[in-house]
Amino acid sequence: MTAQLILVVDDEPDIRQLVSEILEDEGYRVEVAENAAIAREVFRQRRPDLVLLDIWMPGTDGISLLKEWREEDGIRCPVVMMSGHGTIETAVEATKLGAYDFIEKPLSMAKMLLTIENALRTRQLEQENQGLRSQMVAVHDIVGSSQAMQHLREQADRIAQHNTCILLYGEPGVGKDVVARYIHANSVRKDRQFSKVVLSTMDQERMARQLFGYIERGRVHYGLVDECKGGFLYLAEVSELDEDSQARLLGALKDGFFFRVGGGEPVDFDLSLVVSSTHDLQDDLREERFSDELYFLLSAMPMQVPPLREHPEDVPELLNYYVNLFTAQDGLPYRHFTLPAQNFLRNHRWPGNVLELRNLVQRLLILGTEVDISLDEAEEAVGASIPVFSSEIGQIPESLFDLPLRQAREQFEHDYLVYQLKQADGNVSKLAEQVKMERTHLYRKMRSLGVDPKKYGR
C-alpha cells in the first residue's frame, strides 16, 4: 500500500526542505509548493492525505486558498495551518473554514509530527465511521458450516493476503458483497475505506466522470476512485461498465495510474479492486461488449459464490444468524423457527438466494406475534411453491387455470422467455431488445425461472 502523501505549502525554501526531509524520514511521501498556484496544480494531479498550509504567502494567502478549496469541492483531507505571526483570530477563522489545527512558527517538529499523526488518524476514523453507517445492514461474515461455505471462507482468507484483482461470480442474492467485505476485513487494507458501487444503477453517459473524476473549467472534481484511495473498491455488475470506463480501468490496472475525464495528468491508482457479475463475462466477450484484455486482468482471481440451493444444510444456521442480527441491530422481537419450519425452509428452492432468506426472516420478525415460527407460518411466508419448470414450452403439470396466480404467471414468463430465446438463437442481447428489458434484470429473471440461454443457442 502506497505511503500517505503530504503536501507542504510554504513560500520559505528552508521550511519546505526541512519539513520534507523530516516527513520523508517518517515514511510519508511529500509534495511541496511555494505558492497557491503550484498547490492548486498538485491538487489537479492527485489528492493529498494531508496539507501543511502556510498562512502568510505572497499572492493568494493560505486562508484564501483554504476558503477556495472549501467552496469548490469541499475539504477532502485534513489541513494544518502554519504561521509565524499567528493570532487567535486567524486560528478561529481557519478552524471555521475547516482546518484541522493551527501550529506556530518556529515549528516544533515533535508537535508537528504529533499533529499530523492525530489528523490522519482522525480522518481515518471518520472514514471508518462513514463506512459503518453505510454498512449497518451489511453482513461481513460468510455464514455456514457446509463444505461449500468452508471452502469459500478458506479461499477468501488466502486471497485476502494478496493485493490482486478479484472477480466474484454468482446469482443475484448469493452474497457476493458479503464475500467482498469479508476479504476487505481480513486484508492489509482492513482499516481503510470500503466503497461499493452498483454499476447498473449509474448513468452510462456520466459513468467515467463519476468513477474517475473530471476536470471542467480548470476545476478538479474527484471521482469514486479518488474517494477510495488506499482502500477497497467493489464494482458490482462489472459488465455494465461503458466503453470509456473500461478503457480507463484497463489503463489504471496496467500502469498504476489513471486519467480524469478532460485531464492529461496521471493520477495514482492505489486501491484493491473487487468486481462481480451475475453471468459469465465470456458471453460479453463473444458479443464484443467487454474488453478481452480487461477481462483477463480482472479474472486473475475468480471466485464462484454458490447459490443457496446447493448448500441447503446451511439454511437453519442462516435463519438463526439473521434472527440474532435483526434483534440486536434493529431491536426486533426475538422469534424461534420450529424444527418443522426449518425443515420446510431447507427444501425451499430459494430463487432469491440468501437475500430472499434474509428478507423472509425480517418480515416474520416484524409481522409475527408468537415466539415460535410454525410450519404453517413459514409456508404462508414463502407462498405457494414454485413449480419445477420443464425445459419445453407448454409442459405444465396441471391446467394453467388450475394453478395459483403466482405459479401461473411464472409458468407463462418461463414459456415466454424460452420462446423468445429460440427466436434470438440464444443471444441474450437480442433477447433483451425483443422483450424490452435491461440485461441485468433479464439475467436475474431467467435464473429465477430456471431458463438457461445456452440451451437455445445454435
Same domain, 261 and 405: no
Mean pLDDT of 399-412: 68
Choosing from 244, 269, 304, the residue where a domain stops is 304
Same domain, 152 and 211: yes
Same domain, 121 and 174: no
**Predicted local distance difference test score (pLDDT) of residue 275:** 96
Examine residue 155 and state whether it is found in any structural domain, yes or no. Answer: yes
Examine residue 139 and state whether it is found in any structural domain, yes or no. Answer: no
Same domain, 92 and 178: no
Examine residue 364 and state whether it is found in any structural domain, yes or no. Answer: yes
**Predicted local distance difference test score (pLDDT) of residue 458:** 59
Same domain, 295 and 152: yes
pLDDT in tens, 11-20: 999 999 999 9
pLDDT band at 45 (very low <50, low <70, confident <90, very high): confident
Same domain, 184 and 105: no
**Predicted local distance difference test score (pLDDT) of residue 253:** 94
Q: Is 90 exceeded by the pLDDT of residue 407?
A: no
Domain hosting residue 236, numbered range: 147-304
pLDDT band at 435 (very low <50, low <70, confident <90, very high): confident
Does residue 398 or residue 123 have the better pLDDT?
123
pLDDT band at 409 (very low <50, low <70, confident <90, very high): confident
Does residue 298 or residue 125 have the better pLDDT?
298
Examine residue 389 and state whether it is found in any structural domain, yes or no. Answer: no
pLDDT in tens, 51-86: 999 988 888 888 888 888 877 665 678 999 888 766
Same domain, 298 and 321: no
pLDDT in tens, 279-308: 889 888 988 899 999 999 999 899 999 999
**Predicted local distance difference test score (pLDDT) of residue 51:** 93
**Predicted local distance difference test score (pLDDT) of residue 113:** 92
Cβ atoms of residues 289 and 248 within 8 Å: no
**Predicted local distance difference test score (pLDDT) of residue 93:** 77
Does residue 385 or residue 209 have the better pLDDT?
209
Q: Is 60 exceeded by the pLDDT of residue 135?
A: no
Q: Is 60 exceeded by the pLDDT of residue 272?
A: yes
pLDDT band at 399 (very low <50, low <70, confident <90, very high): low
Same domain, 170 and 279: yes
Same domain, 115 and 246: no
Q: CA-CA-CA-CA torsion for 258, 260, 264, 268, nearest 10 degrees?
A: -30
Choosing from 304, 335, 361, the residue where a domain stops is 304
What is the spatial distance between Cα 1 and Cα 159, in angstroms, rounded to a whole number?
A: 16
**Predicted local distance difference test score (pLDDT) of residue 396:** 47
pLDDT band at 400 (very low <50, low <70, confident <90, very high): low
Instruction: Kindly report the average pLDDT of the chain as a whole number.
Output: 85
Cβ atoms of residues 285 and 292 within 8 Å: yes
Mean pLDDT of 401-430: 79
What is the spatial distance between Cα 266 and Cα 231, in angstroms, rounded to a whole number?
A: 19
Examine residue 138 and state whether it is found in any structural domain, yes or no. Answer: no
pLDDT in tens, 152-206: 999 999 999 988 899 999 998 999 999 999 999 999 888 888 999 989 888 888 9
Examine residue 445 and state whether it is found in any structural domain, yes or no. Answer: yes
CATH code (residue 404): 1.10.10.60
Same domain, 111 and 211: no
Examine residue 83 and state whether it is found in any structural domain, yes or no. Answer: yes
Same domain, 289 and 175: yes
Choosing from 304, 336, 369, the residue where a domain stops is 304
What is the spatial distance between Cα 207 and Cα 191, in angstroms, rounded to a whole number?
A: 27
Give me the number of domains the chain comprises.
4
- Written as nine digits, the cell of 301 is 482471481
Amino acid at 96: K
Examine residue 142 and state whether it is found in any structural domain, yes or no. Answer: no
**Predicted local distance difference test score (pLDDT) of residue 75:** 65
CATH code (residue 333): 1.10.8.60
The listed range with the strongest mean pLDDT (8-17, 103-112, 124-133) is: 8-17
Same domain, 78 and 195: no
